[in-house]
Amino acid sequence: MRNGRNGALPSELGDLIDELDDVQRRLRILEAPSGEALGSTVAKLRALVTDIQAQLDAWAADRWTNAEIDARIDQKVAAYVASILAGNVSIGGALTVQGTVRMPTVRGTDLTSASNRVTVWQAGPGDDRLGHT
């Protein structure tokens, strides 16, 4: 029973080759994973994925969200700026303000005008904006 090999071989050797080919084919079939082995592999893979997911969930539970990180940064910056600006502020040169100047305790500050000065006003109770005329 030759399987179409090229070249002429002695018949005894050809029969041995055919027999070895048949044994090799049957061995491949026996060594191939069965349905049970594949099912076991799938179960092991599922268990590994479940374990990895549990580890990721545990890790993520202890982590901050981006919003929490942003809030903490904002708190730190605000606290730092407040500590720097607390108390008296003195400026050695010109002060240019691009926005609204606010003075929360202006009602307790004497804002009088002199002949060589402009009049300063405060908007009113509950509104701490300053202005001048």
Q: What is the pLDDT of residues 94-103, one digit of tens each?
A: 878 788 777 6
Q: How does residue 4 score in pLDDT terms, banded at 50, 70 and 90? A: low
Residue burial 87-117, b: 16+ Cβ < 10 Å; e: rest: eeeeeeeeeeeeeeeeeeebeeeeeeeeeee
Q: How confident is the model at residue 2 (pLDDT cuts 50, 70, 90)?
A: low
CB 121 within 8 A of CB 131: yes
pTM of the model: 0.34
SS3 category, 103? coil
Residue 123: pLDDT above 80?
no
Question: 25 to each of 55, 87, 88, 126, how far by Cα in Å?
Answer: 44, 91, 93, 94
Q: Which amino acid is at 85?
A: L
Return the bridge partners of 102, or none: 129
Query: What pLDDT digit, counting tens, does each position of 11-56 carry?
Result: 778 888 889 999 999 998 888 877 777 778 888 999 999 999 999 9
